[in-house]
């Protein structure tokens, strides 16, 4: 479904992503991990068109989306959530999701009332229906994360890019959010590329994991392979641990 | 026997067996028909005072310039410091075509729309290339440059004197009736702009407009073609501003760039938007009326007016709710309404 080939991105003298290649199969949950500053979010931004890669190609559903504007990529079926929630603070949750409903797909004749009905369905799905008239600025961090999920789902994506969706959530909220993501994947039949720092969650959730370090891909494989990979252990814990074999 | 009863939320009028009631509960005051009716009957009381009528005509025109500017500020998520560029372009286009080629007001209207649309389309990339201060600076410079051009080519634009003697839009024979005509025509223009802006902001386009204003990068990620919308919300209000200039040319029959292109005129319009309520399309109306009345009242003070007028405006900006202005006081308990209020039941 998604094919990233030799993608490179520089910011001045800094190479944020360096010749990274990997692919995501339809229906899979792929984890993208790496220490802070490894280039995970930059890679996500490259996939969804916020940045244009300096080199390499990105293909989605057999189409070359390299350097395509974000709105066109979104309409092809790629949606995302943000590491730091970016809701429309002065808008109600219902209105915010309605924007996704109207523009996520080509629906030139969809009326506003139809859009809000559909938006209310996505709010109900993530458990925010009772907060439909609340301004986004009044929501808690968990509710903001769920609003982001509703907004992303409302664009009817085939590929969902999750950027540290569990950050700032307590264990109870994390398990609720995880359940919500499983439900979404099952109900909407979506593929997920997921950046996560909480290893316990990503190791259980993903079928395949890609590890980035200093902008380079250092490992790719199943969670078990990744957990035993010396390069990954070195990147996370330091060379001493990799040599002693104590992950 | 007619009996009038005043209750907490309504006024009752009894006439024999008949009973009429008028609900005065605040939520019913929000009916725009009441506002339109009040504006329409004003001239009946001030007909003998043509200076007041002219002041109110100016207020309508200020509002007709401020309404598209408000729409543009929301739709492009940028503060345009030079909406009067299109006032100058529209005014000179219709005045020059009328004076030199003898075009009547209807063809000059078409030409004004075309010229404003073409120039706005040419300049529209600035809405997505230049951000924040850079956009404001670009838009600030353009009308001032145009003003210099009107002085540089004084033989065409007649510099400080301006162009005079354009054909009138209508002539009722009597000066008093003409003043009344100007008022109602300007009111009609303002209400038309208000109606169009209101329709836009309450439709699915209004929701998109609000999303772009909130965060254009996130809106783009949600599938909104931000560039297309920005071009539209730059070009369309610019055309509306040009039409106001066309109206000025064919009613006041005089047009000078020095009146409309300098910085102080633009500041007046921006202050109308801010005092009226930046987040509300309707805010431009009370804002424009307040500015016109204050400006006219202080004119009698003489040169000190140049100090008092800005002080009054600064005071108003400080006192009124931030971003919500006069309309915010009226609409206090509601969300910012540049996007429609959506409701759905389970």
Residue B206 domain-assigned (yes or no): yes
CB contact under 8 A, B218 and A89: no
Q: CB-side exposure of B223: number of CA atoms within 13 Å?
A: 26
Which chain B residues have any C-beta within 8 angstroms of a chain A C-beta? 203-204, 207-208, 210-211, 214-215, 217-227, 335-336, 339-344, 346
pLDDT band at B187 (very low <50, low <70, confident <90, very high): very high
* Residue in A89, A112, A151 closest to B222 by CB: A151
Give the Cα-Cα-Cα angle B310, B314, B319 (nearest 5 degrees).
Answer: 150
Phi, psi of A201 (to 5 degrees): -75, -50
Exposed e or buried b for every residue in A120-145, given b needs 16+ CB within 10 A? bbbbebbebbebbeebbeebeebbbb
Examine the domain organization and report whether B100 and B114 are in the same domain.
Answer: yes
Would you state the pLDDT for residue B5?
85
CA distance A117 to chain B (A): 7
Examine the domain organization and report whether B130 and B176 are in the same domain.
Answer: yes
Residue B269 has pLDDT above 50, yes or no: yes
Residues belonging to chain B = 346
Average pLDDT, chain B: 84
Tokens of A57: 């190609």
Sequence spans of domains, chain A: 2-244
Residues belonging to chain A = 247
Task: Please identify, in words, the CATH class of the domain defined by A2-244.
Answer: alpha beta
Strand (E) or helix (H) holding B46? helix B32-46
- The per-residue pLDDT string of chain A (247 residues; one tens digit each, 9 = 90 and over) reads 888 889 899 888 888 888 888 899 888 889 888 888 888 899 899 999 889 999 999 998 888 999 899 999 999 999 999 988 898 888 889 999 999 999 988 887 888 888 888 999 999 999 888 888 888 888 899 999 999 999 999 999 999 999 888 888 888 888 888 888 888 888 888 999 988 888 888 888 888 889 888 888 888 888 888 878 777 787 776 655 555 544 4
Domain count of the fold of chain B: 2
Q: Which residues does chain B have within 8 Å of residue A162's beta carbon, measured at their own beta carbons?
A: none
Is A229:A236 a contact under the CB 8 Å cutoff? no
* Helix/strand/coil for A21: strand
Containing structural domain, residue B64: 34-263
Examine the domain organization and report whether B134 and B240 are in the same domain.
Answer: yes
C-alpha span between B54 and A14 (Å, rounded): 63
Would you state the pLDDT for residue B336?
46
Question: What SS3 string covers B196-253?
Answer: HHHHHHCCHHHHHHHHHHHCHHHHHHCCCCHHHHHHHHHHHHHHHHHHHHHHHHHHHC
For residues B333 and B23, which has the higher predicted lDDT (pLDDT)?
Answer: B23
Say how many Å lie between the first and final Cα of chain A, rounded. Answer: 33
Query: What number is the ipTM of this complex?
Result: 0.87
| Chain-centroid distance, C-alpha B254 | 20
Count of CB atoms situated within 10 Å of the CB of B342:
21
Would you state the pLDDT for residue B280?
67
How far lies B149's CA from each of A38, A118, B89, B111, B152, in Å?
A: 55, 54, 12, 20, 5
**pLDDT per residue over B166-183, tens digit each?**
888 888 878 888 888 889
Specify whether the backbone of B204 is left (phi greater than 0), alpha (psi in -120 to 50) or beta: alpha
CA distance B28 to chain A (A): 22
CB contact under 8 A, A80 and B217: no
DSSP letter string, A51-110: S--SEEEEEETTEE-TT--HHHHHHHTEEE--SS----TTSBHHHHHHHHHHHHTT-TT-
pLDDT band at B338 (very low <50, low <70, confident <90, very high): very low
Residue B165 has pLDDT above 70, yes or no: yes
Residue B275 domain-assigned (yes or no): no
CA distance A30 to chain B (A): 21
Examine the domain organization and report whether B119 and B181 are in the same domain.
Answer: yes
Of residues A135, A129, A126, the one with CA closest to residue A116? A129
Q: Which residues does chain B have within 8 Å of residue A96's beta carbon, measured at their own beta carbons?
A: 211
CB contact under 8 A, B339 and A91: yes
Would you state the pLDDT for residue B76?
84
CB contact under 8 A, B226 and A117: no
Ranges A6-10, A131-135, B299-303, B331-335: which has the least confidence: B331-335
* Residue in B222, B336, B343 closest to A103 by CB: B222
Torsion of CA B270, B274, B279, B282, to 10 degrees: -80
Q: Residue with structure tokens 């009370």? A: B286
CB contact under 8 A, B223 and A133: no
Q: What share of chain B is helix, strand, coil (3-state, %, to 5)?
A: 70, 5, 25
Examine the domain organization and report whether B8 and B111 are in the same domain.
Answer: no
Would you state the pLDDT for residue B26?
62
Phi, psi of B126 (to 5 degrees): -60, -25
CB contact under 8 A, A70 and B214: no
Examine the domain organization and report whether B23 and B138 are in the same domain.
Answer: no
User: What is chain B's alpha carbon radius of gyration, rounded to the nearest angstrom?
Assistant: 22
Q: Is A116 on the interface with B (CB under 8 A)?
A: yes
Is B116:B86 a contact under the CB 8 Å cutoff? yes
Ranges A119-123, B153-157, B276-280: which has the least confidence: B276-280
* Residue in A70, A110, A132 closest to B344 by CB: A132
Of residues B63, B10, B345, B77, the one with CA closest to residue B233? B77
**pLDDT per residue over B78-126, tens digit each?**
888 888 899 999 999 999 999 989 899 999 999 999 999 999 999 999 8
Residue B323 domain-assigned (yes or no): no
Q: Which residues does chain A have within 8 Å of residue B225's beta carbon, measured at their own beta carbons?
A: 71, 103
Examine the domain organization and report whether B56 and B96 are in the same domain.
Answer: yes
A-chain residue closest to B216, CA distance: A88
Examine the domain organization and report whether B162 and B19 are in the same domain.
Answer: no
**pLDDT per residue over B42-72, tens digit each?**
888 888 888 888 899 999 999 999 999 988 8
Across-strand partners of A5?
Answer: A57
Examine the domain organization and report whether B39 and B8 are in the same domain.
Answer: no
Q: Is the dihedral of CA A48, A50, A51, A52 positive or negative?
A: positive
Of residues B162, B183, B181, the one with CA closest to residue B171? B181
Examine the domain organization and report whether B129 and B18 are in the same domain.
Answer: no
Helices and strands: H and E segment counts in chain B: 16, 5
A-chain residue closest to B211, CA distance: A88
Would you state the pLDDT for residue A78?
92
- List CB contacts of B329: < 8 A, sequence separation 6 or more: B320, B321
Tokens of B52: 């007041």
* Helix/strand/coil for B171: coil
Phi, psi of B197 (to 5 degrees): -65, -40
Examine the domain organization and report whether B40 and B23 are in the same domain.
Answer: no
Chain A and chain B share a number of CB contacts under 8 A equal to 95
Examine the domain organization and report whether B16 and B156 are in the same domain.
Answer: no
């Amino acid at each position: 479904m998604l094919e990233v080939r030799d993608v490179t991105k520089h910011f001045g003298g800094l190479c944020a992503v360096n010749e990274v290649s990997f692919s995501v199969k339809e229906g899979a949950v792929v984890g993208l991990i790496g220490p802070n500053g490894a280039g995970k979010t930059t890679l996500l931004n490259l996939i969804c068109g916020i940045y244009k890669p300096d080199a390499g190609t990105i293909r989605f559903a057999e189409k070359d989306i390299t350097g395509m504007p974000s709105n066109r990529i979104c309409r092809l079926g790629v949606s995302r959530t943000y590491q730091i929630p970016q809701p429309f603070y002065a808008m109600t949750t219902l209105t915010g999701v309605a924007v996704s409903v109207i523009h996520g797909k080509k629906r030139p004749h969809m009326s506003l009332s139809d859009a809000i009905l559909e938006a209310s369905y996505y709010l109900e799905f993530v458990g925010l229906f009772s907060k439909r008239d609340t301004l986004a600025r009044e929501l808690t961090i968990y509710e903001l994360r769920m609003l982001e999920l509703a907004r992303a789902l409302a664009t009817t994506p085939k590929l969902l890019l999750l950027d540290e969706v569990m950050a700032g959530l307590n264990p109870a909220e994390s398990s609720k959010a995880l359940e919500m993501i499983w439900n979404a994947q099952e109900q909407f039949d979506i593929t997920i590329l997921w950046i996560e720092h909480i290893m316990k969650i990503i190791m259980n959730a993903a079928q395949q994991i890609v590890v980035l370090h200093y902008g380079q891909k250092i490992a790719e494989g199943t969670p078990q392979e990744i957990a035993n990979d010396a390069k990954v252990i070195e990147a996370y814990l330091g060379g001493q641990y990799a040599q002693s074999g104590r992950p | 026997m007619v009996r009038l009863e005043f209750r907490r939320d309504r006024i009752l009028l009894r006439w024999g067996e008949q009973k009429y009631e008028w609900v005065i509960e605040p939520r019913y005051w929000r009916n725009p028909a009441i506002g339109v009716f009040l504006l329409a009957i004003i001239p009946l009381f001030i007909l003998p005072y043509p200076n007041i009528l002219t002041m109110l005509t100016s207020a309508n025109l200020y509002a007709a310039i401020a309404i598209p500017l408000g729409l543009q500020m929301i739709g492009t998520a940028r503060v345009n410091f030079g909406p009067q560029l299109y006032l100058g372009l529209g005014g000179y286009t219709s005045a020059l075509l009328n004076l030199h080629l003898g075009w009547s007001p209807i063809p000059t209207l078409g030409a004004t729309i075309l010229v404003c649309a073409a120039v706005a389309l040419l300049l529209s990339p600035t809405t997505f290339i230049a951000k924040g201060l850079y956009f404001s600076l670009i838009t600030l410079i353009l009308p001032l440059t145009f003003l210099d051009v009107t002085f540089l080519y004084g033989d065409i634009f007649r510099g400080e004197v301006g162009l005079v003697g354009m054909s009138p839009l209508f002539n009722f024979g009597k000066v008093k009736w003409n003043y009344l005509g100007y008022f109602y025509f300007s009111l009609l223009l303002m209400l038309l702009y208000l109606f169009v802006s209101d329709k836009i902001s309450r439709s699915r386009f209004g929701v998109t407009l609000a999303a772009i204003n909130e965060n254009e990068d996130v809106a783009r990620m949600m599938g909104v073609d931000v560039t297309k919308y920005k071009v539209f919300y730059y070009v369309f209000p610019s055309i509306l501003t040009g039409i106001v200039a066309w109206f000025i040319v064919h009613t006041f029959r005089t047009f000078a760039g020095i009146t409309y292109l300098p910085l102080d005129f633009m500041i007046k319009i921006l202050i109308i938007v801010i005092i009226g309520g930046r987040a509300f399309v309707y805010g431009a109306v009370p804002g424009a009326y307040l500015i016109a009345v204050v400006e006219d009242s202080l004119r009698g003070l003489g040169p000190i007016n140049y100090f008092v007028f800005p002080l009054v405006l600064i005071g108003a900006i400080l006192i009124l709710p931030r971003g919500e202005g006069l309309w915010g006081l009226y609409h206090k308990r509601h969300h910012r309404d540049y996007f429609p209020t959506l409701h759905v039941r389970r």
